[in-house]
Amino acid sequence: MKKNSPISVPAIAPLNELIPASPRPANLTAFRTNPSLERFLRLMRILSTYSPGLAAQVSTYLFLRPRRKALTYVNELPAGHRKIHILHAQRRLVGYEWGSGRRKVLLVHGWESHLGYMLPLVQPLVAAGFKVIAMDGPGHGQSPGHLTHMIEYGDAVGQALRQFGPFTAVIASSFGAAATSLMLSREPQLKVQGLIMLSPMKHIWQHIQIFEKILGYPPEMHERILANIARRVAVPLENCDVARAVGRFPFPALIVHDQEDAVIPAAGSREIAAAYPGSVLRITQGLGHRGLVSDRQVQRWILDFLLRIMR
């Protein structure tokens, strides 16, 4: 049975009816593997021995190409949805909007996910009077494209802010939280009243480390892959540090992370919160990496945060 850590939260009685009982979170398989992929990875490890340069090029391509999840969410969209498009880099990214409130919230999913992951937040937010927009990032879900990275992903979020804003807040998960934070630090003119980060990556290094762990390459391949990724991202990788980016944000943030997150350690969120004077950190237990958005208490924290920043 999952339990949140004992943190005192103000009662939000009127919101209780807005939030359905929490389902148990699905078991997390962060990066989906299968026998065909395992065979391919074995071949890549052999290639890294005989042609490390070629192996690094192929690996960079794989790093930049998210695998798409099945689009089951199109049959699970909450009632009242309206399809929209975000115009980014000469492409039409796909999104949906709900509600008609004056206050707007943007939902941003993580790597190898899609907007369907964020859907449990839609009904509570609409019932609380918000207009909600959720988007499929570049190369994810229904959106076009094959290759993307943290900087481009953040640029797409920035375009959504420009096209449909102003927004009260952005609620972003994992890789999407890091991409959004870095974008907001690069484009301070894109103003929001608050930021909610769920299981955020602290640094692009985490994304690279997870990827390299899956590949199982020898350590000497690291520098080759790193150099290739840096060329594609076109931003110094050391600058892709969320804890550094948030230090001067003029708006408050809510950061939520599970102590037992097996994909992105909660220590990263503690570092982000320590560097972010206007942030509040909530640590849960037993929800893992993907259980936050469906959890009733987490939804209350989100709604309480949004109502407070609107006062």
Digit-coded pLDDT (tens) for 7-16: 333 333 333 3
Kindly report the average pLDDT of the chain as a whole number: 89
Q: Where are the domains of the chain?
A: 86-203+240-309
Choose the CATH number for 86-203+240-309 among 3.40.50.720, 3.40.50.1820, 3.30.70.80, 3.40.50.300: 3.40.50.1820
Reduce the DSSP state of residue 87 to 3 states and report it. strand
Digit-coded pLDDT (tens) for 249-307: 999 999 999 999 999 999 999 999 999 999 999 999 999 999 999 999 999 999 999 99
* Distance set, CA 36 to CA 39, 48, 68 (Å): 5, 19, 16
What pLDDT does 31 receive? Answer: 44
What pLDDT does 63 receive? Answer: 93
* Distance set, CA 269 to CA 27, 231, 261, 295 (Å): 22, 28, 11, 19
Digit-coded pLDDT (tens) for 152-187: 999 999 999 999 999 999 999 999 999 999 999 999
Nearest to 78 by CA among 15, 127, 122, 12: 122
Average pLDDT over every residue of 33-46: 78
pLDDT(218) > 90: no
Q: What's the CA gap between 42 and 279, in Å, rounded?
A: 43
Reported as a pLDDT band with limits 50, 70 and 90, residue 27 is very low
What pLDDT does 33 receive? Answer: 56
pLDDT(75) > 70: yes
What pLDDT does 213 receive? Answer: 85
Q: What's the CA gap between 30 and 40, in Å, rounded?
A: 19
pLDDT(39) > 70: yes
Reported as a pLDDT band with limits 50, 70 and 90, residue 206 is very high
Q: Which of 141-145, 173-177, 236-240 is least confident?
A: 236-240
Reported as a pLDDT band with limits 50, 70 and 90, residue 205 is very high
What pLDDT does 34 receive? Answer: 65
pLDDT(93) > 90: yes
- What count of other Cβ atoms lies within 10 Å of the Cβ of residue 118? 24
What pLDDT does 309 receive? Answer: 95
What pLDDT does 303 receive? Answer: 98
